[in-house]
Chain A
Amino acid sequence: MTDVHIVGAGIHAFGRHDESSGLDQGVFALRQALDDVGLDWDQMQFGFGGSSAAGNADAVMPRMGLTGMQFINVANGCATGGSALLSGYWAIKSGEFDLGVVVGFDKHPRGAFNAEPSEWGLPEWYGQTGLMLTTQFFANKINRYMGLHGITPTALGRVAEKAYENGAKADHSWRKQPVDLDTIMGSQMVSDPLTKYMFCSPAEGGVALILASDRKMRELGLAGPKVKGAAVRTRVAGSFEVFAPSLEIERGPSPTQIASKAAYEMAGVAPGDIDVAQIQDTESGAEIMHMAENGFCKDGEQEQLLADGATRLDGTLPINTDGGCLACGEPIGASGLRQVYENVQQLRGRADGRQVEGARLGYSQVYGAPGISGVVVLEA
């Protein structure tokens, strides 16, 4: 079977853009990705696209050109972008196509996502009594983890400090100002132990990636990182997920743990081989727990690793080199693709100001509701 490569990448800066619709931002990213490699839209044989709150992804077609190509809208919760990429990967891997595009864009209202109990199959009282907030889930999960594994609030602060430091160095990020540890720790408490600066916000943005088979890439005289492993997995019984009035006493693995394992096996690499990683940081605690869930350390080792700066740009395993969700915000349709975009830039040596020297293996993991995780391993 053929290998699949990412030969082109485009992005519309994340953040708040009152003048642009989500669709505008998706189209911008598509055009930039095509320009990146000097290809035309009518050369694209397929498209997979996702948007959670900004309309249909295939609304890019009239703007880009009605070429008759196969285009499929992807909707898969917080892993929408990651799922679009996986769909494109299989489309080429199967031998059916050899050149196509995946796109993700979004534009969310300000503030935390509103949740309706009935849409989640939950009773009204659950929302009425104030138990239906995603922020509470994240706080509950990290609070237990901190108690069991000796993680301190300072470690949470260090994750956010690093995020804003890296975000200030990435053109496509939203938050451009470094924030010092004291400010992060002293900012408004949202849901203990997580403060305002430890949470990401819903945002806007768009990302597009052009995929090609190994043969097509060479035929066109292009180059780009190889997709070495890719997997999306969902929750199993005993996984702690958002909006759960009850949990089973017998705990199970998280969707991230099983997606991660599958992607490593597919890629034939181990966590220790990874040079740069983008992992889901909806809030600071998520990055800490995901360090372990993705195999980069054992539970509890994060405290020392963060104190040593191991995950900073000059550390032993740089994590979220563009500032992650904390500094870029989380437009659901685009967020997972942003991680892959950042790894593509890192592996092509184009991450100006935040380049991890000599990076050859890039790892990304997107996670979210209702308990879904998508992992991609790229090789330069």
Chain B
Amino acid sequence: MPQRPIAEDLIRQTAAGPRLLGGRRCSDGKVVFPLPQGAEGAQYEAMELADEGTLWSFTVQRFRPKSPPYAGADTDQSFKPFALGYVELAGQVIVESRLKVEDFADLKVGMPMRMTQVAFPTVSDPDTFTYAFEPA
């Protein structure tokens, strides 16, 4: 497993496994992801999000996104299509995520999903990982 997360305050490693870090708004309890940073962050308290949910929607990215902002170490030639979508975490929030799946055809709205981590080497750091969800 790579050493470094793609960003700080995005994923928290807990005894029970990795968890996404969201924010709960102090004024009304509304849950957001990611945890707001800077001045806006003062209105939120950090919360570990559920690591299981259901697939809300999905698609497949078929071509290499433009750089910037995309920072993957791959090239137009070596790029491999990846699935992404939204996962509903019951009672919390719907989060956008890469989806780790063997066959894109296996993805169905409503299917149970579980959080995981995947390697994401970038142009500046080959030893990076990010979060993803996979079929539970």
Contacts and interface: CB of A to CB of B under 8 A. Distances in A.
A67 interface: no
B107 to A, nearest CB: 9
A129 B98 CA distance: 9
Interface in A213-270: 244-249
Interface residues of A, number: 37
A125 B61 CA distance: 17
A112 B22 CA distance: 30
Contacts of A114: 66, 68
B46 interface: no
A207 B36 CA distance: 41
Given A123-B37, A246-B96, A191 B59 contact: yes
Given A131-B96, A246-B96, A124 B59 contact: no
A249 B88 contact: yes
A188 B60 CA distance: 13
B92 A128 contact: no
A350 interface: no
B69 to A, nearest CB: 3
Interface string A136-159: 100111011001100000000000
For chain B, give the interface size range.
35 or more
A235 B45 CA distance: 26
Given A143-B109, A192-B104, A246 B33 contact: yes
B136 interface: no
Contact of A128 (B61, B62, B70, B109): B70
Contacts of B71: 127-129
Interface in A94-131: 111-112, 114-117, 123-131
Given A123-B37, A125-B10, A127-B69, A245 B96 contact: yes
Given A115-B69, A130-B72, A144 B56 contact: yes
A64 interface: no
Contacts of A189: 60, 62
A129 B84 CA distance: 11
A128 B69 contact: yes
Given A125-B7, A132-B69, A248 B109 contact: no
A123 B22 CA distance: 13
A39 interface: no
Given A116-B69, A127-B70, A128-B69, A245 B59 contact: no
Contacts of B91: 249
Contact of A246 (B32, B63, B85): B32
A188 B81 CA distance: 13
A190 interface: yes
Contacts of A140: 57-59, 84-86
B44 interface: no
B45 to A, nearest CB: 16
A144 to B, nearest CB: 4
Contacts of A139: 59
Given A132-B69, A246-B95, A249-B94, A123 B7 contact: yes
B95 to A, nearest CB: 5
Interface string B72-96: 1000000000101110101111111
A218 to B, nearest CB: 53
B93 A136 contact: no
A247 B94 CA distance: 5
A125 B130 contact: yes
Contacts of B86: 140, 144, 247
Nearest to A147: B109
B2 interface: no
A133 interface: yes
Which of A117, A125, A143 has most B Cβ within 10 Å? A125
Given A136-B61, A143-B109, A189-B62, A246 B69 contact: no
Given A140-B59, A192-B60, A248 B30 contact: yes
B112 interface: no
B101 interface: no
Nearest to B10: A125
Contacts of A116: 68-69
Given A129-B72, A193-B59, A249-B92, 13 more contacts: A111-B66, A117-B69, A123-B7, A123-B34, A125-B130, A131-B98, A132-B70, A191-B60, A245-B34, A245-B95, A246-B93, A247-B56, A249-B94
Interface of A: 111-112, 114-117, 123-133, 136, 139-141, 143-144, 147-148, 188-193, 244-249
16 contacts: A112-B66, A127-B68, A129-B6, A129-B72, A129-B120, A131-B96, A131-B98, A133-B61, A136-B84, A140-B86, A144-B57, A191-B62, A246-B33, A246-B34, A246-B93, A246-B94
